[in-house]
A and B are shown apart, each in its own frame.
Chain A
Amino acid sequence: MNEQANIDFVKQCYAAYMAADAEKLLSYMAPDVEWNVAELPNIEFSGDRRGRQEVGEFFQQVAANQICRNFEAKEFFANGDRVVVLGHYDWTLRESGVEWGCDWVHIFTVTDGQVASFQELLDSYKVFDAYRQSGDTAVRAPTPGDAILRPFMH
């Protein structure tokens, strides 16, 4: 695929995420997708994942713990099989109401029309500090009834 096609594909991924269409979103991932998010103490949705099932769990864990108030993918860049996106998000912890937000950078590798790898760079101290302020009980495991994605639901 050319670079513009890769950007359009990544935009489809964001559209599925914002529509909370987990089935579609996971179908965009390579079966052995590499998913890299900074490792943070006491944040169960931090750290690396591998494969669709683990990525599905990642989204469940994020959605079980925090509500997305604002999610903006702002600028797209492409080179070869890589797409870089600059954006911003704001979250509220479900348990405590503590708010945090920051700019982020997402880095995708697109292979054969699928996401082969994803890396998120974010202001990791902000999320660590939000959960630290919220205390030990703030991080919740997903419950069986949780939708895979419900980032925007209250």
Chain B
Amino acid sequence: MSEQANIDLVKKFYKAYIQGDGETVLSLMSPGIEWIIPDMPGIAFSGTRHGKEQLTEFFQTVAASQQLRRFEPREFFAGGDKVVVLGHHDWTVRASCVEFGSDWAHTFTVQDGAIAAFSQMMDTYQVVEAYRQSGPAAVRAPVAGAILRPMLQ
């Protein structure tokens, strides 16, 4: 795929994510998707996931634990099979209402028209600190039901 086609695929992912359309999100991923979030102590949804099943559980855990207030992909860069996106997000921890946010960079690898790898770099200290303030029960187990509900109240 061309670099522009790769950017379009990534934009499709963000659109589905923001709409809470889990089925479309997962349909854009390779079966062997590698999903990399930095390891953070006390954060169940940190670390690396492999495959759509683990990714589904990741999204469910994130959505159960925190509510998205703002999510903005701002700038797109492409080179070869990679797409890098710069953006910003703001979250509220559901259990405590503690708020955190930071700029982020997402790196996608696109292969055969699907997202084969994703990694997120963000201000991890802000996440660890928000959950430390919120207490040990703040990271919640995934709930059955919606795969994605980041914008839901």
The interface of chain A, by Cβ under 8 A from chain B, is 38, 40, 75-79, 82, 84, 86, 102-105, 107, 119, 121-126, 128
Q: Given A76-B79, A82-B75, list of 17 further CB < 8 A pairs?
A: A38-B123, A75-B79, A78-B77, A84-B77, A84-B105, A86-B84, A102-B38, A103-B119, A105-B84, A121-B105, A123-B121, A123-B124, A124-B124, A125-B41, A125-B125, A125-B127, A128-B125
| Contact, CB under 8 Å: B75 / A79 | yes
A76-B79, A77-B82 known; A125-B128 Cβ under 8 A: yes
Contact-size category for B: 20 to 34
Interfacial residues, chain B to chain A (CB-CB below 8 A): 38, 40-41, 75-79, 82, 84, 86, 102-105, 107, 119, 121-128
Chain A residue nearest to B85 in the complex (CB): A84
Q: A82: which B residues are within 8 A, CB to CB? A: 75, 77
Q: List 10 A-B contacts (CB under 8 A).
A: A38-B102, A75-B79, A77-B82, A77-B84, A82-B77, A86-B84, A103-B119, A105-B105, A121-B123, A124-B123
Q: When the two chains form their complex, are residues A79 and B126 in contact, meaning their CB atoms are under 8 A apart?
A: no
Whole-angstrom distance between the alpha carbons of A38 and B121 in the complex? 12
**Which residue among A77, A86, A104, A128 has the maximum number of chain B CB atoms within 10 Å of its CB?**
A77
Given A38-B123, A77-B79, A119-B103, answer yes or no on A125-B84 (Cβ-Cβ < 8 Å). no
Decide: B103 and A79 in contact? CB cutoff 8 A.
Answer: no
Q: Is the CB of B103 within 8 A of A125?
A: no
In the complex, what distance in Å separates the CA atom of A107 from the CA atom of B104?
A: 11
Which residues of B lie under 8 Å from residue A105 when comparing CB positions?
84, 105, 107, 121
**Taking the nearest CB of chain B, how far is it from the CB of A108, in angstroms?**
12
Docked complex Cα distance between A126 and B79 (Å)? 29
> In the complex, what distance in Å separates the CA atom of A120 from the CA atom of B62?
25
* Smallest Cβ-Cβ distance to A107: which chain B residue: B86
What A residues does B122 contact at CB under 8 A?
A: 121
Least distance between B141 CB and chain A CB atoms (Å): 23
Which of chain B's residues have a CB closer than 8 A to the CB of A75? Answer: 79, 82
Q: Could you say which residues of chain B place their CB within 8 Å of the CB of A121?
A: 103-105, 121-123
